[in-house]
Structure 1
C-alpha cells in the first residue's frame, strides 16, 4: 500500500535511513591504578570504557529536531569494602537491589536521558537538504575514595582489608525526536568492570594495597541485535543520586552512612 500522508511517509523514511557506519567499543588494556598518597582514603582509578560511532543522517524533510547520542544504564552493582572482622561498607542501589527496576540511568544527572551533552550527543535541526555524517563518543571509568578506617568509627586507625567491585552496564546509541519523544535504537553495547584489591592495613602507607585478578578487563560486546531500553534508564534518578552507603557490621543492624540524594 502506498503512503497516504507524504509528510509521515517522509518521516518514516528518515527514521529508517539513519545508519551507523562504524561503531567501536573498548576498555583500555591497562590495570587499575592504586593511590595511597592520602592517610585518610585509598583511591583507585580503573581503565576507561570508550565508545564511539560514526552516524549517517539523511536529509530531514520537516522543521523538527533530532538528537543522536549515548544513553547508559547500570544493571548490576556490587561495591563492597571489607574491614576485617568489623564488617563492611557497601554502596547500594536499593531499587535495583530489590528488583523494582531492571536498570538505573547512568546519565550525568543534568541532561536526561543522555550520558552527557558534549561529545556524547549531536543535534540535527530540520529541514535539511543534505545528508550529514558525524562522530559521537563517550568514556567512563571509576575513581572513588575508600576510607582506611571504619566509616562509622571515630577512630582513624586503618582497618580496610579488601575491596570488591563488579558492575555491569548497557550503553545504547539512540536517535530521538525532541518534539514527539520518538526513539530509534541504533546500537546496543554491553560491558562490565570487575575489581579486587587486597589490603594489609598493618603495613606502612604506600605499601598496603595490591591489585587482584582480573588485572585486565574483558572487552565490551557490541550486540548484533538491539535490546530495548528499560523506562527506568530514561528518567531520574541517576545512579549517583540514587546510591546509598551502608555499613553492615558483623554483628548488629546495618546503618545508613550516606543516604540517597534522590529516591
Structure 2
C-alpha cells in the first residue's frame, strides 16, 4: 500500500504537473492499495507468493521478492503553456507491505476473488520509501537529456511486528493506485487555470466533489467518459 506520494514534473519554473491520488490528498483515506489491479488486493502472484500444499513438508527457506517499476508518463513540452519544456522531476513515496499467510478452506490457488472462508494471518509489516530527483535539458537529443540524477532511501526498509491481526481495510479496497491517479497541471501564473491532463479511471466521490477537492471550490470541469465513480469494492480480505 502507498501512504504518501509527491510526484512533480517541473517546466522551466512556469508551472508543474503532479501525479496525485485524490483519496490521499483529500484525507479520505490514509492508505491506497498498490496492487497491479489484476490480482486484487495482492501486489502480484509470481515472485511474491509461495504456495504450500497440504501434506508433510521438511523445514526449508523460501525467498519472496517484490519489484517496483517507476515509469510514469511525462511529456517534454506543454504546447498549451507557451511550449514550456521539462526541466526537473521530483518523486517521494512511502509504502507499507504486509507479509501474510493465507489458509484456503477449499481447493484452489490465489485468485482475484478470495473465498470468504479463507483465513488471512498477518506475519510482518514492512515500511519503506523511495526518493528520486532528476534534472533534464529538453533541448538536447533524446538519449542525452538527463543532466543530473539521484535516487535514495531515507532509511533502510523497516521490518516490524504487525499492529493488528488483520490487514488494514484501506489497503485492500478499490481503487488501486493506477486507477485513482490523476495528472494535473498547476501553473504558477495566478491568472491561468489548472488543467487535468490525465483524469482518474475511478473515483470514490461524485465528480463535482472530486473537482472541488482537487482544484478548488470554484472549479468546474466536465466529467470524462473514462472516469467511473465507485461506491464499494468486492475485493476485500478479511
Cα deviation code 1:10-68 (max 9, x no counterpart): xxxxxxxxxxxxxxxxxxxxxxxxxxxxxxxxxxxxxxxxxxxxxxxxxxxxxxxxxxx
| Residue 190 (structure 2) pairs with residue 253 (structure 1) | no
Query: Which has the greater radius of gyration?
Result: 1
Matches within 5 A, 1:17-166: 73-126=1-54, 128-130=55-57, 133=60, 134-150=62-78, 153=80, 157=83, 159-166=85-92
Q: Provide the C-alpha distance between the structure 1 equivalents of 2:188 and 2:147, rounded to a whole number of angstroms.
A: 24
Equivalent residues of 1:102, 1:230 under 8 A apart: no
TM-score between both structures, scaled by the size of structure 2: 0.69
Aligned partner (choices 219, 223, 235) of residue 159 of structure 2: 223
Deviation at 1:174, TM superposition (A): 0.6
Cα deviation code 1:177-216 (max 9, x no counterpart): 3442432111111111111112333445444322344x44
Number of residue-to-residue matches in the alignment:
187
Deviation at 1:224, TM superposition (A): 3.1
Between 1:92-101 and 1:226-235, the stretch displaced more is: 226-235
Cα deviation code 1:134-183 (max 9, x no counterpart): 44322113123421112x6397x561121111011111111123442432
Aligned partner (choices 201, 205, 212) of residue 138 of structure 2: 201
Equivalent residues of 2:131, 2:152 under 8 A apart: no
Structure 2: gaps spanning 5 or more residues: 105-114, 204-238
Aligned partner (choices 194, 202, 214) of residue 262 of structure 1: 202
Aligned to 1:56: none
Q: Provide the C-alpha distance between the structure 2 equivalents of 1:236 and 1:216, rounded to a whole number of angstroms.
A: 30
Q: Provide the C-alpha distance between the structure 2 equivalents of 1:132 and 1:97, rounded to a whole number of angstroms.
A: 45
Aligned to 1:182: 119
Q: 1:174 to 1:246 in 2, by over 3 A?
A: same
Query: How big is the alpha-carbon RMSD for the aligned residues of Structure 1 and Structure 2?
Result: 2.5
Structure 1: gaps spanning 5 or more residues: 1-72
